[in-house]
Amino acid sequence: MARTLDRLASEVVERRGEEGPLVLVGIQRRGVDLARRLKKLLDARLSAPAILGQLDINLYRDDWSSLGIAPAISHTEIPAEVEGASVILVDDVLYSGRTTRAALEAILDFGRPRRVELLVLIDRGHRELPIQADYVGKRVNTSATERVDVLVAERDEQDKVLLRPKADA
């Protein structure tokens, strides 16, 4: 995982260079941990430090009514520098695109970024919405009966990507 994040940081620097402030926004939960790691890697490569934020998208999900439960809300901390800045949303897994859609909706409530890009550790396909990542650590072919779990040392005591059968499959 460390090597993949290092490559992703290099790709970000190569594509964007030194163009203005860069805001990394990690999507709760593991996207926040990945964004923190990326910030350290990017800060070593850029002349200005990246700005870090975190986003809870639960209130923006489109499936709460079908689940019949109230959303559990986590911490959101978006820097004031979102207006006119380049924002990179960071998440662990890209699947249907619905989490990304919710994150886009949420981030726009905080201002109008100049550009929003998406960086994911794993892209497992199976989109339900026309959303693609700008930066991808690894593309993993999966079936609809499988799920991808990303473990990060900050939360799970190890870095690991697991492909498992879905519990309801």
Model confidence over 30-84: pLDDT tens digits?
A: 999 999 999 999 999 999 999 999 999 987 766 655 555 655 666 788 877 788 9
pLDDT, position 68: 58
Do 99 and 27 touch, CB atoms closer than 8 A? yes
The Cα–Cα gap between 56 and 155 comes to: 17
Residues in Cβ contact with 157 at an 8 Å cutoff, skipping those fewer than 6 apart: none
pLDDT, position 76: 84
Q: For the chain, what are the domain ranges?
A: 2-165
H helical segments located in 29-97: 30-43, 64-67
pLDDT category at 136 given cuts 50, 70, 90 is very high
Backbone angles phi, psi at 33, to 5 degrees: -65, -40
CATH number 3.40.50.2020 is the correct assignment for the domain at 2-165 = yes
Do 43 and 49 touch, CB atoms closer than 8 A? yes
